[in-house]
Amino acid sequence: MLGKIASHYFAGKSRLLHEKSLYERLAFSFILKRREKMGLKTGKLIGLAALIAMTAPLALPQKASCEVFELNSLANLFEGVSFDHDMHIEAVSDNCSVCHHHSAGTPPTDATCIPCHLKSAETDSAACNACHVNEPFSSASLEASASNPLLHHKVKPGLKAAYHQNCLGCHQETGGPVGCQDCHALTEKGEKYYNTGQFAPKPGKSSSHH
Amino acid sequence: MKKLNRRNFIKGSLAGGLAAAATCNAKDAKAAGGDFGGYPDSMGVLVDLTKCVGCRTCEAACNKEQGLPEPDKPFDDFSVFDERREGGLPRRTTEKAYTVVNRYEVEGRAHPLFRKVQCNHCNEPACLTSCFVNAYTKTPEGAVIYNPKVCVGCRTCMIACPFYVPAYSYSSAINPVVKKCIMCYDTRLKFGRPPACVEACPQGVMTFGKRKDMIALAHEKINAKPGKYVGHVYGETEVGGTSWMYLSDVPFAEIGFDTHLGKEPIISHVKDFLAIVPMVLCIWPALFTGFHLLATRKQTNKENSTKA
Q: Do A209 and B171 touch (CB under 8 A)?
A: yes
Question: What pLDDT is stored for residue A204 in this prediction?
Answer: 66
Contacts of B71 in chain A (CB under 8 A): 195, 201
Burial class of B228 by CB neighbour count within 10 A (0 to 12, 13 to 18, 19+): exposed
Query: Alpha helix locations (H) across chain B?
Result: 2-32, 57-65, 126-130, 156-160, 196-200, 211-224, 266-295, 297-307
Q: Are B61 and B197 in contact (CB under 8 A)?
A: yes
Q: Is the pLDDT of residue A2 over 70?
A: no
CA distance B90 to B256: 9
Q: Do B202 and A206 touch (CB under 8 A)?
A: no
- Regarding whether B303 and B216 lie in a shared domain, the answer is no
- Regarding whether B134 and B260 lie in a shared domain, the answer is yes
Q: Are B209 and A156 in contact (CB under 8 A)?
A: no
- Regarding whether B222 and B93 lie in a shared domain, the answer is yes
Which chain B residue shows the shortest CA-CA distance from A179? B55
B166 touches chain A (CB under 8 A): no
- Regarding whether B246 and B161 lie in a shared domain, the answer is yes
Tens of pLDDT along chain B (308 residues) come to 444 565 565 555 555 554 544 444 444 444 455 677 788 889 999 999 999 999 999 999 999 999 999 999 999 999 999 999 988 999 999 999 999 999 999 999 989 999 999 999 999 999 999 998 999 999 999 999 999 999 998 999 999 999 999 999 988 888 888 999 999 999 999 999 999 999 999 999 999 999 999 999 999 999 988 999 999 999 999 999 999 999 999 999 999 999 999 898 888 888 787 778 778 888 889 999 999 999 998 888 888 888 76
How far off is chain B from A169, nearest CA to CA, in Å?
A: 9
Question: What pLDDT is stored for residue A38 in this prediction?
Answer: 43
Q: What are phi and psi of B274, to 5 degrees?
A: -65, -30
Mean pLDDT of A83-108: 91
Q: Does the residue B182 lie in any domain? A: yes
DSSP state of A198: G
- Regarding whether B275 and B256 lie in a shared domain, the answer is no
Q: Are B168 and B179 in contact (CB under 8 A)?
A: yes
- Regarding whether B91 and B143 lie in a shared domain, the answer is yes
Question: What pLDDT is stored for residue A20 in this prediction?
Answer: 38
How far off is chain B from A161, nearest CA to CA, in Å?
A: 5
Burial class of A87 by CB neighbour count within 10 A (0 to 12, 13 to 18, 19+): exposed
- Regarding whether B83 and B68 lie in a shared domain, the answer is yes
Which chain B residue shows the shortest CA-CA distance from A197? B74
Question: What pLDDT is stored for residue A62 in this prediction?
Answer: 42
- Residue B218's DSSP bridge partners are none
Which of A39-53, A106-120, B231-245 has the lowest average pLDDT? Answer: A39-53
Q: Does the residue B246 lie in any domain? A: yes
Contacts of B58 in chain A (CB under 8 A): none
- Angle between helical axes of A20-37 and A2-15 (0-180°, round to 10): 170
Burial class of B43 by CB neighbour count within 10 A (0 to 12, 13 to 18, 19+): buried
CA distance B62 to B167: 15
CA distance B207 to A18: 34
Mean pLDDT of A102-111: 88
Residue range(s) defining the domain that contains residue B291:
2-33+268-307
CA distance B181 to B93: 9
Which of B203, B213, B223 would you mutate first to test chain A, the one with the most A CBs within 10 A? B203
Question: What pLDDT is stored for residue B15 in this prediction?
Answer: 53
Mean pLDDT of A87-108: 91
Which chain B residue shows the shortest CA-CA distance from A200? B74
- Regarding whether B131 and B80 lie in a shared domain, the answer is yes
Contacts of A157 in chain B (CB under 8 A): 204
Number of Cβ within a 10 Å radius of residue B33: 20
Question: What pLDDT is stored for residue B6 in this prediction?
Answer: 56
CA distance B256 to B259: 9
Q: Are B78 and B110 in contact (CB under 8 A)?
A: no
How far, in Å, are A172, B60, B168, B284 from residue B185 at the CA level? 36, 18, 20, 42
Name every residue whose Cβ is closer than 8 Å to that of residue A175 and which is 6 or more positions away in sequence. none
Which of A10-14, A152-156, B122-126 has the lowest average pLDDT? Answer: A10-14
Higher pLDDT, residue B246 or A21: B246
CA distance A3 to A182: 37
CA B175 to chain centre: 22
- Regarding whether B280 and B181 lie in a shared domain, the answer is no
Residue B38: name the closest of B186, B240, B213 by CA: B240
CA distance B145 to B138: 6
Question: What pLDDT is stored for residue B229 in this prediction?
Answer: 96
Q: Does the residue B65 lie in any domain? A: yes
CA distance B244 to B265: 15
Q: Does the residue B25 lie in any domain? A: yes
Name every residue whose Cβ is closer than 8 Å to that of residue A84 and which is 6 or more positions away in sequence. A68
Cα-Cα-Cα-Cα torsion B28, B33, B34, B35, nearest 10 degrees, comes to 40
Q: Does the residue B204 lie in any domain? A: yes
Instruction: Map residue B179 onto helix, strand or coil.
Output: strand
DSSP-derived secondary structure for A86-146: HHHHHHTTT-THHHHTTTTSSPP-STTTHHHHTTPPPPS---GGGTS-S-TTSHHHHHHHH
Contacts of A197 in chain B (CB under 8 A): 74
Q: Say how many Å lie between the first and final Cα of chain A, rounded.
A: 61
- Residues 193 through 222 of chain B touching chain A, CB cutoff 8 Å: 193-194, 198-199, 201-204, 207-210, 213, 217
HEC secondary structure over B236-247: CCHHHCECEEEE
- Regarding whether B285 and B259 lie in a shared domain, the answer is no
CA distance B264 to B239: 5
User: How many distinct structural domains can be found in chain B?
Assistant: 2
Q: Provide the residue count of chain B.
A: 308
The CATH number of the domain where B48 resides is what? 3.30.70.20
Q: Are strands B244-247 and B43-48 parallel, antiparallel or unpaired?
A: parallel
CA distance A190 to A77: 4
Q: Does the residue B247 lie in any domain? A: yes
- Regarding whether B52 and B159 lie in a shared domain, the answer is yes
CA distance B47 to B184: 17
- Regarding whether B81 and B228 lie in a shared domain, the answer is yes
- Residue B244's DSSP bridge partners are B45
Q: Does the residue B38 lie in any domain? A: no
